[in-house]
């Protein structure tokens, strides 16, 4: 399996090593074409063209780039990476706001901000892939990214740990798509695609994608022997029509864009389902109590809010001889069980100078989709004065995901 970089100009070998005592593989010059050079090639070109003393300085800078800019033991402030642009960025800020965490950014052009409700915490706005990279490097402690980005750039690194795997937005899937016409007209599954006789060592299946780690692994695991990949960042749907690819591997939400460009998804072609997740650097959680404390608070706020989404509190009054008798009537209705069961308490009324519990108040939590049915059932068993109000938070005695996280950290 090979990986072809279609966007690179022709490469010329340069045999100038950085150090005679450290034999290195040949490096490359990229001819100056006025176009932006790929980052990795750009660095190598610089190293090849400098005097030896400066080459060694560049080599040191290269090694330091993947190390934390400030040693973790020296940095006391907790760093939280958030997406800097796009729909993911807006939805992330909305989630934080719904959890009473307000991101305060003095200047919209600045990449650093704060959350006043969380002391000793900095917010850093970054590209999602850079959030993952900086978590690995130790420059961030927490971050919110899509699961697809986490999988592509985290590459299974054990120092990254998922704190919350379903934040409820950014839903999409990483899927393989092919044209719906020509030689692909009758191809409807990944297995059929892999068995097509057209793919040979001389003429392999060409896949355009931005997922150069997940893509090759997925194709190899599914039996594709003759396949090459071209790197592309946007407008992948145009690649087959332009004749530069046979298929694309890209993120899909509704699938409308694929259909409008005469492409189709196929059975078995979904690599992963993705949505926004909260991730952390495992080493930071283990070594820094403040990181654990901030993570716990953020996680509990998220959990309480997300559990309350589309839930309503329903309150009603009901006549009855006792709380137990009323509870029996309520529990006989399938939509009135609530989270753990109905809360029933006496309503004391005054008659002829005497205070007696003529009514009982019922409080239950019901999902939005079952709201009207629940109200109907309450009225059928004698409920009156039914009040409905939306829920904002549902806090558990112990947040399940926090308990699970501590177990993974062996703390």
Higher pLDDT, 347 or 9: 347
Q: Per the structure, how many domains does the chain have?
A: 3
* 397 inside domain: no
Residues 283 and 359 in one domain: no
Higher pLDDT, 15 or 225: 225
Residue scoring higher pLDDT (399 or 42): 399
- Residue 169 near residue 245 (C-beta atoms within 8 A): no
Same domain flag for 153 and 285: yes
Integer CA distances (angstroms), 27 to 5, 57, 226, 269, in order: 16, 17, 27, 37
What is the pLDDT at residue 352? 77
Query: To the nearest whole percent, how much of the chain has pLDDT over 70?
Result: 82
Same domain, 324 and 379: yes
Q: How much is the average pLDDT of 325-346? A: 86
- Judge whether 284 lies within some domain: yes
| 151 in the same domain as 132 | yes
User: Would you state the pLDDT for residue 82?
Assistant: 98
Q: What is the pLDDT of residue 336?
A: 85
Tell me, yes or no, whether 267 and 282 share the same domain: no
pLDDT category of residue 119 using cuts at 50, 70 and 90: very high
178 and 322 in a single domain? The answer is no
268 lies in the same domain as 335: no
Answer yes or no: do 165 and 280 share one domain: yes
Which of the residue ranges 102-106, 179-183, 275-279 would you say has the lowest mean pLDDT?
102-106
- pTM higher than 0.85: no
Contact 200, 220 (CB under 8 A): no
Q: Tell me how many degrees the CA angle 91-166-79 measures, rounded to the nearest 5.
A: 65
Domain match, 296 and 165 both: yes
Do residues 223 and 203 both lie within one domain?
Answer: yes
pLDDT for 104: 94
Q: Cβ(124)–Cβ(80) under 8 Å?
A: yes
Whether 114 and 177 map to the same domain: the answer is no
* Residue 292 placed within a domain: yes
The predicted structure's pLDDT at residue 71: 54
pLDDT for 32 equals: 38
Six token digits for residue 144: 């919110």
Residue 403 lies in a domain: no
Q: Which of these three, 227, 250, 273, is where a domain ends?
A: 273
Averaged pLDDT for residues 103-131: 94
For residue 116, is it within any domain?
A: yes
Residue 183's pLDDT is what? 96
Local confidence band at 107 (pLDDT 50, 70, 90 cut-offs): confident
Q: Are residues 127 and 94 in the same domain?
A: yes
User: Residue 12: inside a domain, yes or no?
Assistant: no
When computed from its CA atoms, the radius of gyration of the chain, rounded to whole angstroms, is: 29
CA dist., res. 78 & res. 142, Å (int):
8
pLDDT tens digit sequence for 125-173: 999 999 999 999 999 999 999 999 999 999 999 999 999 999 999 999 9
CATH value at residue 82: 3.40.190.10
Give the tens place of pLDDT for each residue, 52-95.
444 444 343 443 444 444 555 578 899 999 999 999 999 999 99
So what's the pLDDT on residue 67? 45
Give the domain range for residue 301: 78-169+276-306
- d(CA 138, CA 141) in angstroms, rounded, equals 7
pLDDT tens-digit series, residues 294-303:
999 999 999 9
Residue 333 lies in a domain: yes
Among 299-308, 352-361, 401-410, name the one with the lowest average pLDDT. Answer: 352-361
**pLDDT band with cut points at 50, 70 and 90 for residue 4:** very low
pLDDT reported for residue 18: 40
Domain harbouring 342, CATH code: 3.30.70.120
Confidence of residue 106 (pLDDT cuts 50, 70, 90): confident
pLDDT one-digit tens code per residue, 224-263: 999 999 998 778 999 999 999 999 999 999 999 999 999 9
In this prediction, residue 70 carries a pLDDT of 52
* Residue 398 is assigned to a structural domain of this protein: no
């Amino acid at each position: 399996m090979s990986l072809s970089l279609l966007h690179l100009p022709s490469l010329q070998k340069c045999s100038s090593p950085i150090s005679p005592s450290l034999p290195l593989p040949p490096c490359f010059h990229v001819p100056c074409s006025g176009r932006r050079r790929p980052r990795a090639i750009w660095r190598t070109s610089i190293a090849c063209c400098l005097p030896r003393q400066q080459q060694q300085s560049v080599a040191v800078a290269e090694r330091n780039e993947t190390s934390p800019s400030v040693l973790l033991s020296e940095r006391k402030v907790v760093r939280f990476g958030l997406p800097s642009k796009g729909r993911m960025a807006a939805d992330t800020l909305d989630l934080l706001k719904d959890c009473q965490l307000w991101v305060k950014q003095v200047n919209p052009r600045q990449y650093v901000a704060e959350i006043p409700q969380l002391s000793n915490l900095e917010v850093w706005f970054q590209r999602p892939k850079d959030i993952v990279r900086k978590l690995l490097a130790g420059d961030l402690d927490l971050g919110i990214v899509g699961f697809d980005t986490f999988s592509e750039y985290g590459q299974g690194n054990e120092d990254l740990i998922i704190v919350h795997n379903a934040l409820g937005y950014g839903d999409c899937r990483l899927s393989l798509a092919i044209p719906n016409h020509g030689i692909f007209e009758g191809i409807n599954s990944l297995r059929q695609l892999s068995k097509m006789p057209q793919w040979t060592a001389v003429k392999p299946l060409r896949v355009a994608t931005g997922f150069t780690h997940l893509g090759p692994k997925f194709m190899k695991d599914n039996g594709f022997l003759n396949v090459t990949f071209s790197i592309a960042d946007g407008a992948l749907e145009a690649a087959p029509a332009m004749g530069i690819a046979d298929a694309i591997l890209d993120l899909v939400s509704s699938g409308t864009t694929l259909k409008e460009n005469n492409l189709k998804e196929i059975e078995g072609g979904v690599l992963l389902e993705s949505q926004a997740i909260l991730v952390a650097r495992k080493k930071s959680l283990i070594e820094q109590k403040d990181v654990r404390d901030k993570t716990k608070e953020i996680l509990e706020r998220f959990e309480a809010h997300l559990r309350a989404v589309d839930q309503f509190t329903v309150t009603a009054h009901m006549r009855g001889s006792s709380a137990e008798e009323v509870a029996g009537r309520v529990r006989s209705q399938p939509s009135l069980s609530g989270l753990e069961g109905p809360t029933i308490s006496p309503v004391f009324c005054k008659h002829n100078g005497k205070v007696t519990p003529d009514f009982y108040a019922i409080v239950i939590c019901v999902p939005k989709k079952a709201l009207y049915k629940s109200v109907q059932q309450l009225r059928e068993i004698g409920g009156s004065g039914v009040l409905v109000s939306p829920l904002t938070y549902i806090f558990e005695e112990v947040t399940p995901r926090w308990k699970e996280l501590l177990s993974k950290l062996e703390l």
